[in-house]
Amino acid sequence: MAQPITTITARFMLFMTVNCYLVAVDDGFVLIDTGPVGGRAAIENALLQAGCQPGRLKQIILTHGDFDHCGNAAYLRDKFNAPIAMPRPDAGMVENGDMFASRQPPGPIMKAIVPLVSRLPQADRFTPDAVFDDGADLAEYGLDATAIALPGHCRGNTGILTAAGDLFCGDLFGNLNKPEIWSLVDDAAAMQASAEKVKTLDLRLIYPGHGKPFTLAEYVNANP
């Protein structure tokens, strides 16, 4: 049976939005991604509104290591006493606040700009309580789901595929104007291969890091 999913959308960098997903499980909730530091109050309020009081959040699972998805992980871990599990390749990103820790080395312009706009602040860096690999059974973290490595956006980007067929795809896809490969690509060949991998899955709905959920058919139709 599908678990109820609450989408929590936070704003960052003026015009951008990013999603976190609160999934109801037997004995509480699992939070997939945690939004940017700037969206903290809104996210915390949304958790409480959904009935997720401290003690009810059992686990935080991250799809990848970027600052807009991990900005409140350490804060919420402390506040709600919920451990953090994330894809192994991206652990260095959240430990050091360096988005290139699991990407190809940046050119000089990116290297100059990135620390100014897209960086996990020192106080919000953390060491995850657990890391997982492709194919991991996430029941260990309280969610009836499997980890599916979907690299390309960064090395660790990972889909969380629930037993009900919902796929939280991280930043493989976005759906701002239409469902498509997300604009920030580190490794184009890997990203394409990840998109092809998703097409082989039996899915109910795809929940992207940015934008609205969509079906696999909607993605295929929008990207012939």
Return residues touching Zn ion (CB under 5 A): 68, 171, 209
Residues forming a β-bridge with 224: none
Q: How far apart are CA 118 and CA 111, in angstroms?
A: 11
Tell the smallest beta-carbon distance from residue 71 to Zn ion (Å).
Answer: 11
CB under 8 Å to 122, separation ≥6 — which residues? 97
| Nearest to Zn ion of 124, 171 (CB atom) | 171
CB nearer Zn ion, residue 156 or residue 209: 209
Q: How would you list the strands of the sheet with 130-132, edge to edge?
A: 5-12, 16-25, 28-32, 57-61, 84-87, 130-132
Q: How far is the CB of 184 from Zn ion (least distance, A)?
A: 7
Q: Give the nearer residue to Zn ion in terms of CB position, either 159 or 209.
A: 209
Q: Which is nearer to Zn ion, 87 or 142 (CB)?
A: 87
- From CA 28, how far away is CA 31, in angstroms rounded? 10
State the minimum distance, in angstroms, from the CB of residue 171 to Zn ion.
Answer: 4
Packing angle, helices 73-80 and 40-49, rounded to 10? 40
| Minimum distance from residue 19 beta carbon to Zn ion (Å) | 9
